[in-house]
Structure 1
Amino acid sequence: MMMRLFNRKGPSGFSASSTAEEVTQGIDATGLTAIVTGASSGIGAETTRVLALRGVHVFMAVRNMAAGTDVKDAIVKEIPTAKVDVLELDLSSLASVRKFASDFTTKGLPLNILM
């Protein structure tokens, strides 16, 4: 019974089991800029990958720069046209948040998406 509810499509045509790639298929988001927090693993890494796949310039906000760089490298290997940058951000540190904001602002890009 639960699997039927999980896979039942809603008015959008998608269900709880739909992937981000399925939901964004056909969308060209070229020209948009996003910041994804927690982008070095899990749902943050997958969000970064799919946004980059759709043309978004993604700034990965990560605590662990090595892990973030590994994720970025894997995305760029899969999607050679991906625009992905890694910036350090520790949300528990106001100094880190200020530095991140300053670093991002100096890029001169709009912020269209924050996740």
Structure 2
Amino acid sequence: MTFQLTAKENRVAPDVVIGSFLVNNIPTLVLFDLWATQSFVSLALRKMFDDVARELDYPLEVEIFEDRPVRGSRVHRGCTLELFREHYLIDLVHIPLRESKVIVGMDWLIPNGAMID
């Protein structure tokens, strides 16, 4: 199970960073959540992606803060997240997001050799 907070709730959380970055060359509000185990994309934003989404090997149950759990069963693999002119590959699971367009969990760190300091 994975958890998601809204952008407003995360503004006061010390372990979350919010900013505007390019995801697949689309300016996007991105929430970096150190407690999220996966990365997610809003249903509205995923419609703007050129590539075809794939089925996950197993669906994820995501608990949206103070809301009902939702299931994510489709993923865009190999999306590009641009951070300060560096490009990182990231897989984004589709879920309904209220405010954020992308939530970046910790699943992208190791494959990209990235570290949060």
- Which category of TM-score, normalised to the shorter sequence, fits these structures? under 0.3
TM-score by length of 2: 0.25
Question: Considering only CA atoms, is the larger Rg found in Structure 1 or Structure 2?
Answer: 1
> Which has more helix, going by share of residues?
1
> Which has more strand, going by share of residues?
2
Higher RCO (C-alpha 8 Å, min separation 6): 2
